[in-house]
Structures are given as structure tokens and as C-alpha cells.
Amino acid sequence: MNPCVFIIFPLLLLRLETTASNQVGGGDDNVVMKKCSDKERRALLDFKARLQDPDETLSTWRSEEEEDCCKWRGVTCNNQTDRVIKLSIISGGLEGEVSNSLLNLSYLTHLDLVDNSFHGIIPTFIGSMTRLRHLDLGLNHFNGTIPRFICSMTKLRYLNLGNNDLNGTIPRCIGSLTELRHLDLSGNSFYGIIPPEFGNLTDMQYLYLPDVGSCRVENLQWLSHLSHLELLQLDGISLAKQNHWVDVILSLRKLSFLSLDGCELSQVMYPYSSSFLNSSSSLYFLNLRNNNLTSSMYHWMFSLTSNSLRFLSLSGNMLDGIPKYLGNLCSLEYLSFANNSAVVNFPDFLNNLSSGCTSLTLQELFAPRNRFIGTLSNETLSLKNLASLDMSSCNLGPHFPRWIQTLKNLSYLDIANNRISDTIPLGFWDMWPSKLTYLNLSSNNISGKAPDLSSNFGNNSRIDLSSNRFYGPITNVSSTVALLDLSRNKFSGGISFLCQIDQGFLVVLDLSHNFLSGQLPDCLWHFKELKILNLEHNNLSGMLPTSVGSLIQLEVLYLYKNSFSGQLPLSLKNCTRLSFLNLEANKFSGNVPVWIGENLSRLYVLNLRSNSFFGTIPLQLCQLANLQILDLSLNNLHGPIPSCLDNLTNMVQEGSLATHNVHSYSIEWFSSVAGIYLVLLNKYVDHAMMEWKGYERELTSTLRLLKSIDLSSNNLTGQIPSEVTNLYGLHTLNLSNNGLLGEIPEKIGQLKQLETLDLSSNNLSGEMPLSMSSMHFLNHLDVSYNNLSGRIPSSTQLQSIDPSRYIGNPRLCGRPLTKKCHEDDESEVPHVIGEREDGGEDTDEVWGWFFIGGGTGFVTGFWIAYGALLLNRRGRHAFFHFYDRCKDLVYVKVMVFFAKLQRVEEHR
């Protein structure tokens, strides 16, 4: 689990507290008794009119005259003056620019437009809204520098400009906003120093400056003036030169939240003064991640810890263990110790952690990707309350860590990628009275029969047993599961267990790379939330059930390498969110359905390769504007190639446009430390086996970069439509093994991004277009076994292709083939150098100019070249390399020249 969850959590609490106070408020400000003024209603309607509102956030804002804008969503009025005093639209999905009509809200004290998609610079008219006390423009797309008018808004108490595209330096004049309590400049691209004028903000309580850009602190003493400070985030800001920074932190008596992630603390020579005392800290949250700290830091860290500390992150450092005093922190609930590069003795680590009262309070231990060594002689641990344990990639194997079974309260367990070659201990699956919500044993070498997964899993649970050696039939699975990944094992038998999962939590189901057989059961109606269904590399058969059309949220369907047969069910057209459809290597038959093009408009990959589809290619496929990969190869399709292929907009446009190959999904998880349900975001990256330059390769993250059409090995006839040459972004075009006629389109050279072109084994005729000389990225070309004729166009790419890619065209000539073209042996009479009375040329004059030019050129060239080569070793290598490449060409030119002279001689 990402430790950032626990950094964000206090911020969420703060946001909830702020939102609640704004909604409940004090006095009677939020009690709406009268109608708002026409002027303010028109101002709000004008604000709405200039925006895009895809989520209909402002649907209650209607233009009828009797409408009371004080009742609109996000609008709050004063009950006595009827004036709009607050406009708060959070996460509304609004897009566009902020209209200056808001100036007519002259009594506005609170403007909150966070997490929309407003763009452009921060509107200058905001500086005229003199009553504002609360301004929140975070999580938008404003750019440019912070406008100086912000500094004149002296009534501001809350200012959030975080997570925009702001740049430049942070204005020193922000120090004049002396009433500020809350300042957030995080997630921007500033540079320079953090202004020491921040020390004037003596009422400041919450200061968020993480990830502000390339900033540094020159003198941290200004921080000691912020005596009311409760929260401080300086992540990514260099403190490398800040001696005695620990003393400054200890002077902030109210500080409870401190995050110094990536602040170069290891470079500080003297982090504290010799006179510093024992801990007087009130911190409950301390983050020291990614600072390259060694265990010598524990001496000064002691002063920052006390029994108030609940969250501690030491990840991304060079620590070789933990001190015993961490085992005596009687409030510590969460410890992050991930990605430490030093070797850590594992028994000492756990013993120090469980030696004191920490064992009674610690609930979450996040320690993946460490270099743990040693084994536990006593498997009995005293971490009684531990609910979450992440020790993935820690080399805990080869035996299964049986001490885990003593942690009876676990609900989150991740021991993936630990080189465990063992079986699961008896009783493991039914020992969790608290109900597991997350179990990850993936990427080990664990063997044994399929476990019983029907109980001891809570709602929205995630189970990942992928990449192990489990075998046998899958019989029992909890109906509360949201993610089930059993891929890359040896499971066998049918998949009727799917009918047990009937509560609609399932979001991801991956059963790929097993030995499963039988039919896909017709009981998929319950999976209304399913986004990813991967059944590839199994032995499943039969027709797809009608209930597959119930998967209305489905984005990815992998059925590659099974034995499914019959026609595609018509109900599949209801899966309108599909962006990736891979049915390759099955036995599907019938016509390619027209509804694929009419209903599945989000598809960026359509792969029907190696099936038994017949009929013509439906024109409706041209409606798939998002399509980047179209593979209909190895079927029984006939008829012409549709001329409308240039309607595939994504292939016409150059460059990478799609991000479809990453699918985001969220699953709720209950944090026992935070005491609330957290929504954890996850990502699933598409993959596909693709024919690429004659080889089959698996593409994952690079899949979104590829634009490909493969119609090979069918019975297609007619000409290659000229419209294909408009697909400027195409990287691969394979039309081989068909019955195509006519010439290669003359403008095929327009496909300048093309890397692979296979037109082999057709009936194409005529010459290869000269425009092919400009296809500079083309490195895999095959035009063999056609009826092409004439010279192969000259270009570095075309002459470097293996000659076998041109064979089977008897009338094709020129390099790289050994067959010379007819004109190479012919000599034409020159018509420039002197003429005789009969129209012939004067041979003596020709020879004269030849010797004069040749002699002069030889003498000059000889001394230039010889002198350069004599003095320049690198030049010698380059010259002879050039000579080897050019000698054949020079020989041919000389022979042609003498042939012309001989022709002149014969005419005399």
C-alpha cells in the first residue's frame, strides 16, 4: 500500500473539516430566506454560459426569472442582505476559463473552484474582489507566474493555488498577506528560494509547499516566527545547508504534522545544536522519506519523537535497522520502512519493534523492497494489533514465513515476490477472524492445491495469487471479492465458480495462463462493475454466453488462445465501454459484425486474428475513430479493402495520442489507522502479442505508441485503395497473402512513419513508386512474389533490405538485387560537348576536355586528400570507409563514360 495514503489522509480530514465548517458555518450566514438579486443571478448564469459542464454540475442553475440563485448548488447567500457570499464548486468537472462576470458578486468572501479544468492564467479580475477571505483554485490548469495582485488581497485567510502549471519564482510579497492561516502552493514548477518574508505570516497554521519545483531554503530561521504552525510540508525543497534545522522544528510547539520527503537531509552537517534537549515534540506525523539517511540519524530523530507520534515514514533511505526506542512509542500506529538500501537483520528489526508498548499500538507495517537477512528462531511475535503488513520483495523465502500466522488481526497482507518455494501452511486460509481485505502472494513459487477462497474475505477484497504453481480446480471463491488474479498458475477444470460471485463487487478478473477448460458460464449478469476480463491462454471452448452483454462497464476483454467458437453474441454490442477487444487464436466464425463499428466506438485495439470469420470487411469499421490497431489477419475474408480506412482518425494523425492502454479503477479499503474507508486507485496496463518486423512480440506500455493494420492471409481482392496513403501515423501495414491486383499506390511515400510494409504474395504489378524513396523509417519491407517490374527506387532504406524480400518478381531489377536494369547497360550519346557538322561530337575535343579536367582535378585532389589523410588519423578511417562504399558506383560511372566516348568514335 502506498504510504502517501497516510500523508494525504490528514489533508483530507482538514478538507472535510473546512468543508463542514463552511456548510454549517457560524451565525446565520448559511440560512437562505430571500431571493438573490437579478444582477448576481445574471452574473452566475454568464459564468455558467462560458463553461463546458459534461457532468451537469450546474444543472440547477436555470435561467428562469423566478429562479432563486441562493438555492443553486454551490451558492451560499447571506440571509439578511441576500448577497452571494460564497461560491464553492469542488470537483465539478467544469472546463474553460473563469468569467469576469464574477466581479458582480461584490460581496463574495469565499471562492472555491478546486479540482476542475479551468485553464489559462489566473484571472486578473480576481484581484478586484476585495472582500475575499478564502480563495481556492487548486487542481486546475492555470499557468504562468503567480500574479502580483494576489499580494494586495490582504483579507485572505485561505489561499490554495496548488497543482496547477504555475512557474517562475514565488513572489516575496506574499509575506504581506499577514492574515493568512492556510497557504498551499504545492505541485507547481517554481524555482529559486522560498522567500524569507514568509516569516511575516505569523498567523499561519497550515503551510503546504511540497513538490513546488526546484526550490531551496537559504535560511530557515523565518520558520521559527510561525508560532501557530500546525502542519508543514516541504517535500522536495533542499535543506542541504540548513544547520540546526531540528532546533527550529522543536521551537514550533504546536506543530503536529511534518513532512520532509526528499529534502537532502543527509547533506546537513549539523542538524541540531549541542545544547538541544530531549524530545519536546508534539508531532503525530513525521515523514523523512528519500533523504539517503543512515542509522546515525536516529540520534537526532529521537528529539522529534514522543508518545504523540502515530505515523512515521523512514522509507527510501540507507538504514540498516531501527533503534529500540521505536519499540517504546506508545501511540505509533503506522511505520513505513520501504526501499532501504542497507542490509537489515530481520529478527533484530522485528524484535526491536515489538519489544515495548509499540507492539500494542502498531497497526500497519509497510516494509517492501528491503534487503532483510536472517530467520526467526521464535515465531511468536507480540505485534498484537497489527492489521496491515506489506513486506513484498524482501527475500523472505525459500520457506513460507510461518510467523505471519501469529498475526491474528491482519486484514492486509502482501508478501509478493519473496522467492518463497513452499506450500501454504495448514489452516492459513481460515485463520483470519478480522476478514482479509487484501491478500497478495504473487510472483513466488508457492505450490499446492487450489485454496478455498470462499470465506474470511471482507467486502471489496483483493486476492492476487498470480505467478505461482497452484494447481487443481477452482471451486470456491468469496462473493465479496473485487479483484481476483489467479493468472500464471496450473489451475484446471471449469470456471463455474463464477456463478458463486453474485454480489457485484468484482472489478478485475484475471484467470489467464492456466489450464482451464469448459465453457464460460452464462451467469455474468451480476458483474455490473467488471472492467477487466482476462481469460487468455486457456482451453476454454463453446460459444460466448448471451450474458456477456451485461458487462456494461467492461473496458478490456482478452480471450486470446482458447477454443471459443460460433458467432459473436449480439448482446456484446451493449459493452460500449470496450476499448480493447482481443479474440485472437480461437474458432469464431460468421461475418465480422457491423455493430462493432456502430456501437464499440471506444475501441483502440480490435484483434480478430486467426479465427474463421468470413464475408467482406464491413464498412462500419471505418467509424472507429479511436482505432490504433486493427488485425483481421488469418481469416477467410474476401472482397475489397474498404476505401474509407482514412476515416480512422487516430491513424491519420501522427504521434502518440491515446492513453487507452492504462485502465484506472478504484477499490475501497478500510484503514484501521485512519478509521475510515479509503479509495485506493489502481492501474491495469494492456498488453498484446503483435507481429512486429517478422517476429511475434509482447507489447505492454509501448502498445499505445503503435498504429498498425494487418489484413494478411485472407482472400482479399481488388486494388489497394489510394486512401490508405492518408494514414500518416501508421507504423505497420501488412496486406500479404491475399489476391490484390493493380499497382502499389503512387503516394505510398506519404506514410513517412511506416516501419513495416508487407505486400508479399499478391498479384501486384507495375513499378515500385519513386515516393518510396522518402520512407526513411522503413526497415522491414517485403514485396516478394508479385508481378512488379522496373528499377527498385534508390534510397538508403530500400537498398539495405534483404534481397530475398524482392524475389518472385522476375522483372524487378537494381540494387540490392544482382539483376541489373536494362538501362544500366545502354549508352546514350552526349549532346553537349562540341558538335560536328553531321551532328556528331568532336572526339578530339572530348578527349581534350577529359585530360585537362582530369589532370587538374587529379593534382589538386591528390595533394588535398593526401595531406589531410597524412595528418588526420580519424580522417584516414573515414576516407577508406567512404572509398569502400563508393568504389562500385565510381566503376560504373567510368565505364559508362568510356562507352559514350566509344559511341562517339564509332560515329566519326
Condensed to tens digits (0 to 9), the pLDDT of residues 599-630 reads: 999 999 999 999 999 999 999 999 999 999 99
For residues 305-310, average pLDDT? 92
Longest dimension (CA), the chain: 117
Return the residue matching grid coordinates 504521434: 655
Residue whose cell numbers read 509478493: 416
Over residues 792-805, mean pLDDT: 90
Q: How far apart are CA 739 and CA 735, in angstroms?
A: 10
Q: Please list, in sequence order, all residues whose beta carbon lies within 8 angstroms of the beta carbon of residue 17, skipping any fewer than 6 positions away.
A: none
Decide if 228 contacts 254 (C-beta within 8 A).
Answer: yes
346 within 8 A of 373, measured Cβ to Cβ: yes
Report pLDDT for 834: 42
C-alpha–C-alpha distance, residues 695 and 692, integer Å: 5
Q: In which band, very low, low, confident or very high, does the pLDDT at 670 lie, cut at 50, 70 and 90?
A: low
Between the CA of residue 532 and those of 124, 597, 893, 898, what are the distances in Å? 46, 21, 64, 72
Residue 354: per-residue pLDDT: 86
Peptide bond into 196 cis (omega under 30): no
pLDDT at position 347 over 70:
yes
Run of H or E residues at 845: helix 843-871
Q: What is the pTM of this model?
A: 0.78
For the stretch 125-163, pLDDT in tens is 888 888 999 999 999 989 999 998 898 889 999 999 999
Tell me how far apart the terminal alpha carbons of the chain are, to the nearest angstrom: 93
Q: Give the CA angle between residues 611, 613, 618 to the nearest 5°.
A: 135
Mean pLDDT for 377-405 is 85
Percent of the chain with pLDDT over 70: 83
Where is 834: in which H helix or E strand?
none
* Better-predicted residue by pLDDT, 834 or 308: 308
Under the banding of pLDDT at 50, 70 and 90, the label for residue 174 is very high
Residue 411 reports pLDDT greater than 90: no
What pLDDT does residue 9 have? 43
Tens digit of each residue's pLDDT (9 = 90 or more) over 225-253:
999 999 999 999 999 999 999 999 999 99
Whether the predicted pLDDT of 907 surpasses 60: no
Place of cell 472535510: 16
Cβ pair 712, 633 in contact under 8 A = yes
Which of 800, 634, 641, 823 has the alpha carbon at shortest distance from 725?
641
Q: Nearest Cα to 85, choosing from 152, 123, 131, 17?
A: 131
What is d(CA 126, CA 47) in angstroms, rounded to the nearest whole number? 14
Neighbours of 92 (CB within 10 A): 21
Q: Which of 35-39, 654-658, 724-728, 825-829 has the highest mean pLDDT?
A: 724-728
Distance set, CA 675 to CA 1, 6, 435 (Å): 16, 11, 16
pLDDT digits (tens, 9 = 90+) for 194-220: 999 999 999 999 999 999 999 999 999
* Cβ atoms of residues 113 and 142 within 8 Å: no
531 band by pLDDT with thresholds 50, 70 and 90:
very high
Residue 458: pLDDT band by 50, 70, 90 thresholds? confident
Q: Does position 861 have pLDDT exceeding 60, yes or no?
A: no
Q: Rounded to the nearest 5°, which phi and psi values hold at 192?
A: 95, -160
Overall residue count recorded for the chain in this entry: 908
Residue 89, pLDDT > 80, answer yes
Among positive and negative, which fits the CA dihedral 796, 800, 806, 807? Answer: positive
pLDDT number for residue 112:
94
| Segment among 375-379, 402-406, 490-494, 872-876 with least mean pLDDT | 872-876
Residue 381 has what pLDDT? 67
Q: Where are the beta strands (DSSP E) in 325-453?
A: 334-336, 343-345, 364-366, 371-373, 388-390, 412-414, 436-440, 447-449
The helix or strand, by DSSP H or E, that contains position 342, with its residue range, turns out to be none
| Residue 886 predicted with pLDDT over 60 | no
pLDDT at 763: 97
Nearest to 302 by CA among 290, 291, 289, 286: 286
pLDDT at 252: 94
Residue 508 dihedral angles phi and psi, to the nearest 5°: -130, 130
Pairing of strands 695-699, 688-692: antiparallel
Please tell me what DSSP assigns to residue 69: G
H-helix or E-strand spanning residue 243: none
pLDDT at residue 875 above 90?
Answer: no
Please report, as a single letter, which amino acid is at residue 196. Answer: P
Q: What is d(CA 146, CA 432) in angstroms, rounded to the nearest whole number?
A: 53
CA distance 432 to 424: 15
Strand blocks (E) in 406-529? 412-414, 436-440, 447-449, 457-464, 469-473, 481-485, 490-493, 508-510, 515-519
So what's the pLDDT on residue 279?
58
Q: What is the rounded CA–CA span in Å between residue 433 and residue 424?
A: 18
Query: Is the dihedral angle over the CA atoms 449, 454, 455, 459 positive or is it negative?
Result: positive
**Residues pairing with 631 in the sheet:** 607, 710
pLDDT of residue 79: 87
* pLDDT surpassing 80 at residue 276: no
- pLDDT, residue 673, reads 63
Number of H helices, E strands in the chain: 12, 55
Question: Regarding beta strands 334-336 and 364-366, do their DSSP bridges make them parallel or antiparallel, or are they unpaired?
Answer: parallel
pLDDT recorded at residue 435: 80
